[in-house]
Amino acid sequence: MPSTRHARLIDVAHAHVGPLSRHYARAVVALRWWIVAGWVVVCVVCVTVLPGLGARASGGLDGFISLDSPPLQTELRSFNAFGFPLYSRTITVQHDREGLSGWTQARAALLAAGLTRQEYTEVDPILGALPLSNSLPGTPAASDRGTTIITFLFISPTVSFNTQLRAGREVGQRFLSDPIEGYVGVTGTIPARAEQARVINESLQGVELATLAAIVLITAVNFRSLVAPLVTLLVNGVAFVITHNASPYIGGIFDVAVPDELGPLLIALQIGVVTDYVIFFMSGMRRRVRNGETRLDAARNATGEFAHIVLVAGITVAGGTAALLVARSDLFRAFGPGMVMAILIGLAVSITLAPALLAICGRWLFWPRLPSPVSGEEAMAGPGPARFLARAFSGDTVRAMTERHNAVRIAVACIVGMTVMAIPMLHMGLGLSFIPALPSDNPVRQAAAAASDGFAPGITSPTEVLLEGEDVTLQIAPLRRLQTLLEQHNGVAGVLGAGEDVLPLEFGVFLARDHDAARYLLILDDQPLGSRSVDTLSALRAELPELAAQAGIAPDVRVGLAGDTAIAETIVTETKADLLRIAVAALSVNLLLLVLFLRSLVAPLYLLASSVLALLATLGLTTFVFQDLLHHDGLTFYVPFAAAVLLVSLGSDYNIFGVGHIWSEAQRRPLRDALIVGLPQTTRAITAAGITLAVSFGLLALVPLAPFRELAFAMFVGIMLDAVVVRSFLVPALLVLVGRRSGWPGGQLHAPAAEPRPTPS
């Protein structure tokens, strides 16, 4: 029967594994009980001895930018020149659209003065305060005058985010509790960061449980088994426990802190790749059990078939994410080691514990539908969704796809379609908006909305312009002209400072008492740290020297920017500068590993190019959805870059699984026949693994913060594009079109032409 011959050809190909793989498989199966016991001991040690993820987690601005960055240094010089900062990152908000009484405004000023004089010991962390009312001349007012008061609270930067947030709320509850005060709440960058950390911590367990539940469901349906999901959970659980507890210890050895923001991403990444690898091992085990092999033989052969592929795939993903280490951004340099550790730990557990459990469970792994020997076609198809996928890529469908004229149509359709999807990426904006990233009902975001209603959106995190030079405060006319030019700049809602007499010189707020420093407070038209505000400051930074000269400021006066939006602008600029370094490093690592694995120079080039095209389409769709449809003020700056590194690496991962299998078949038959034999099985396995990985990342959307939802969407769409469109259609079409030249300069694709053509399943 043709189907029997097809099954025999497949078994012969799978039996051809290298001696190292065979020896490794025999050792793992022989030591199966010792391996299980060993991982149990490792987990116990990790839980009882090591500190746990988050023990060394970074916090504060240093998690995003180095302390020697120009905006932070400008802020420090401003503090030294004036004796106190111009603004803070923790703000109380009083707002009433009907207007705040004169008594309320006077009391806000008295409260700020008392806080500055340290009269209220019950709010000890607060070192001082500065009130700002939209009734003052020169302040930008979005509504009627006298409706809003914000008070900047000055707190030592060594105090934790949560402590600063609690101190601000205590001021409101103790001194502004009367309804006439119009107290709304506390806002600012630091309260927003504290709330983000709280939301992440509260969501983490739900994300873990939902991800594990989804994996159980997908594995149970794919294998029609109740035991296979338990084995998958066990392998994932061991990997998670070790990563959760050992990462801070390993990070301490290499002096690398794991950021809080990385926690959910680490979990999704590790669970996804570990589950993928376990699925491949179990797929090989099921096929061999259905072909009548004994328990230990099936485990040995499945391990020998997949262990080296899983190893190379895991190293490829780890190597690709390690490319983030070439970045200069502190955040990316922290992301890289954290993800590499998660992948390598998951890889070590997958290639040892999973085969050991296969050998222990045998055919009971697929209980209650215990496999029995069947024909080749049924062995290829498997149960449930796997059978559907195998049939979708079998028979006339696969044969038609491998006809040259059809391959041309498929390749053109895929390339044109993904190119069109990528177009919105051309207007992608990048920002770091902490406050708008919070849920709409969050009190910190609501307080920011009230402040914006009274002033302008930029009031919650103004930008400081610092002028430093001998006797600069005596240049009154030039300072006023510069203030006028700043007010006229596109994107600036208003300016307070050295060019007007809102506060007299002896107060020393805008004009230093030693006459050598002056400063302005810029309130922007758009959300602080957002894409539009970042663009405004980028333009302003470039134009500041010319504006100062135009105003008549002495040429020896130094002009600098400080504040959170200035920091965000620096981060985005550094990120864009890191793009080329990260891209070259990631693509080089993935290309090198593909070349070594396939022993070819041609195929790795178009395989990697297809992954990059899918990535560009993903970023285009993400930009379209979040910027154009949902009107986000740009994407969170690290989302496109983290997604890019992960998607390219995971794409190479699937290249190794899919093309590697077809490569093995092509050593024994013509390439087209190898596609007919290998495509149904690889498509089914990769699609099942891709769905698992995409769901794992997609469930990050359960964290109700904009960056996680952007990343969840990008990863879900990108993985599905890669697993379904690229691996199932574009890559087979390219293999057909390029033909045996894909293997150049090696000769592994020069198969004997006399081999009878197999009948597709």
Residue 61 pLDDT class (50, 70, 90 cuts): very low
Half-sphere exposure of 381 (CA within 13 A, CB side): 17
The CA distance from 313 to 78, in Å, is: 51
* Per-residue pLDDT reduced to its tens digit, 464-508: 999 999 988 888 899 999 999 999 999 998 888 866 654 444 456
> Quick one: tokens of 145?
């005058």
**Contact yes or no for 557/67 (Cβ under 8 A):** no
Q: What is the pLDDT of residue 137?
A: 73
- The answer, yes or no, to whether residue 426 has pLDDT greater than 60, is yes
**Element at 732 (helix H, strand E):** helix 731-738
Q: Are residues 583 and 720 in the same domain?
A: yes
Single out the residue of 371, 388, 218 nearest to residue 286, CA to CA. Answer: 371
Mean predicted lDDT score pLDDT of the chain: 83
Three-class secondary structure of residue 444 per DSSP: helix
* Angle, helices 330-361/295-321, rounded to nearest 10 degrees: 180
Torsion of CA 344, 346, 349, 354, to 10 degrees: -130
* Angle, helices 70-82/564-598, rounded to nearest 10 degrees: 160
The CA distance from 595 to 659, in Å, is: 12
Beta-bridge partners for 155: 126
Residue 418 pLDDT class (50, 70, 90 cuts): very high
**Contact yes or no for 657/313 (Cβ under 8 A):** yes
**Contact yes or no for 371/289 (Cβ under 8 A):** yes
Q: What is the pLDDT of residue 562?
A: 92
Q: Are residues 49 and 166 in the same domain?
A: no
Query: Distance between the two ends of the chain, CA-based, in angstroms?
Result: 12
pLDDT over 70 percentage in the chain: 85
> Quick one: tokens of 90?
């923790």
Single out the residue of 244, 239, 234 nearest to residue 338, CA to CA. Answer: 244
Half-sphere exposure of 725 (CA within 13 A, CB side): 21
Three-class secondary structure of residue 52 per DSSP: coil
Look up the CATH number of the domain holding residue 691: 1.20.1640.10
Q: Domain of 37?
A: 2-60+195-431+569-743
Single out the residue of 74, 95, 96 nearest to residue 86, CA to CA. Answer: 74
* Per-residue pLDDT reduced to its tens digit, 116-125: 888 887 777 8
**Contact yes or no for 235/273 (Cβ under 8 A):** no
- The answer, yes or no, to whether residue 272 has pLDDT greater than 70, is yes
**Contact yes or no for 659/731 (Cβ under 8 A):** yes
Residue 79 lies in a domain: no
Phi, psi dihedral angles at 522 (to 5 degrees): -95, 130
Q: Are residues 555 and 575 in the same domain?
A: no
Stated pTM of the model: 0.84
- The answer, yes or no, to whether residue 13 has pLDDT greater than 70, is no
Single out the residue of 152, 170, 172 nearest to residue 162, CA to CA. Answer: 170
The CA distance from 471 to 473, in Å, is: 5
- Per the structure, the count of domains in the chain is 3
Single out the residue of 498, 501, 542, 538 nearest to residue 521, CA to CA. Answer: 498
Domain end among 161, 187, 213: 187
**Element at 419 (helix H, strand E):** helix 404-422
Residue 36 pLDDT class (50, 70, 90 cuts): very high
Residue 222 lies in a domain: yes
Q: Side chain identity at 58, as an amino acid letter?
A: S
pLDDT over 90 percentage in the chain: 32
Q: Where are the beta strands (DSSP E) in 607-728?
A: 635-636
C-alpha distances in Å from residue 174, one per residue of 168, 178, 448: 10, 9, 20
Q: Are residues 250 and 392 in the same domain?
A: yes
* Per-residue pLDDT reduced to its tens digit, 571-595: 888 888 887 788 888 888 888 888 8
**Contact yes or no for 495/521 (Cβ under 8 A):** yes
Q: What is the pLDDT of residue 683?
A: 76
Q: Are residues 544 and 663 in the same domain?
A: no
Q: Are residues 226 and 155 in the same domain?
A: no
**Contact yes or no for 212/267 (Cβ under 8 A):** no
Residue 454 lies in a domain: no
* Per-residue pLDDT reduced to its tens digit, 352-408: 999 999 999 998 998 887 766 544 444 444 444 445 555 555 556 777 888 888 999
* Angle, helices 706-720/638-666, rounded to nearest 10 degrees: 20
Single out the residue of 93, 100, 117 nearest to residue 168, CA to CA. Answer: 93
* Per-residue pLDDT reduced to its tens digit, 614-651: 999 999 999 999 999 999 998 998 889 888 888 888 88
Residue 757 lies in a domain: no
Long-range pairs of 128-136 with CB within 8 A, sequence gap ≥ 24: 128/84, 128/153, 128/154, 129/153, 129/154, 130/86, 130/87, 130/88, 130/154, 130/509, 132/496, 133/100, 133/105, 133/108, 134/454, 134/455, 135/105, 136/496, 136/502
Residue 85 lies in a domain: no
Residue 439 lies in a domain: no
Q: Are residues 218 and 266 in the same domain?
A: yes
Look up the CATH number of the domain holding residue 541: 3.30.70.1320
**Contact yes or no for 415/730 (Cβ under 8 A):** yes
The CA distance from 107 to 178, in Å, is: 12
DSSP codes, 666-693: HTTS-HHHHHHHHHHHHHHHHHHHHHHH
Q: What is the pLDDT of residue 284?
A: 86
Domain end among 497, 527, 562: 562
Q: What is the pLDDT of residue 252?
A: 63
Residue 52 pLDDT class (50, 70, 90 cuts): low
The CA distance from 678 to 724, in Å, is: 16
**Contact yes or no for 301/244 (Cβ under 8 A):** no
> Quick one: tokens of 722?
């890669």
Half-sphere exposure of 132 (CA within 13 A, CB side): 28
* Per-residue pLDDT reduced to its tens digit, 177-231: 888 889 999 999 999 989 998 998 888 888 888 888 888 888 888 888 899 999 9
The CA distance from 87 to 155, in Å, is: 11
The CA distance from 189 to 200, in Å, is: 16
Q: Side chain identity at 12, as an amino acid letter?
A: V
**Contact yes or no for 341/251 (Cβ under 8 A):** yes
Sign of CA dihedral 418, 433, 270, 259: positive
256 or 33, which is more confident: 33
Q: Are residues 392 and 477 in the same domain?
A: no
The CA distance from 687 to 680, in Å, is: 11
Q: Are residues 236 and 358 in the same domain?
A: yes
Q: Are residues 53 and 105 in the same domain?
A: no
DSSP codes, 68-109: TSHHHHHHHHHHHHHSS-S--SEEEEEE-TT---HHHHHHHH
Residue 378 lies in a domain: yes
Q: Are residues 174 and 305 in the same domain?
A: no
Beta-bridge partners for 636: 431
Least confident of 106-110, 135-139, 651-655: 135-139
Q: Are residues 173 and 290 in the same domain?
A: no
Domain end among 159, 187, 215: 187
Q: Side chain identity at 57, as an amino acid letter?
A: A
Helices then strands, each counted (H, E), the chain: 24, 10
Residue 440 lies in a domain: no
The CA distance from 331 to 334, in Å, is: 5
Q: What is the pLDDT of residue 248?
A: 67
Q: What is the pLDDT of residue 65?
A: 63
Q: How many CB atoms are closer than 10 A to CB 672?
A: 21
The answer to whether the bond into 436 is cis (omega within 30° of 0) is no
Q: How many CB atoms are closer than 10 A to CB 10?
A: 21
Q: What is the pLDDT of residue 62?
A: 46
Residue 524 pLDDT class (50, 70, 90 cuts): very high
When pLDDT is averaged across residues 528-549 and rounded to a whole number, the result is: 92
Q: Side chain identity at 176, as an amino acid letter?
A: L
Give the pairing type, strands 430-431 and 517-524.
unpaired
> Quick one: tokens of 557?
């006066």
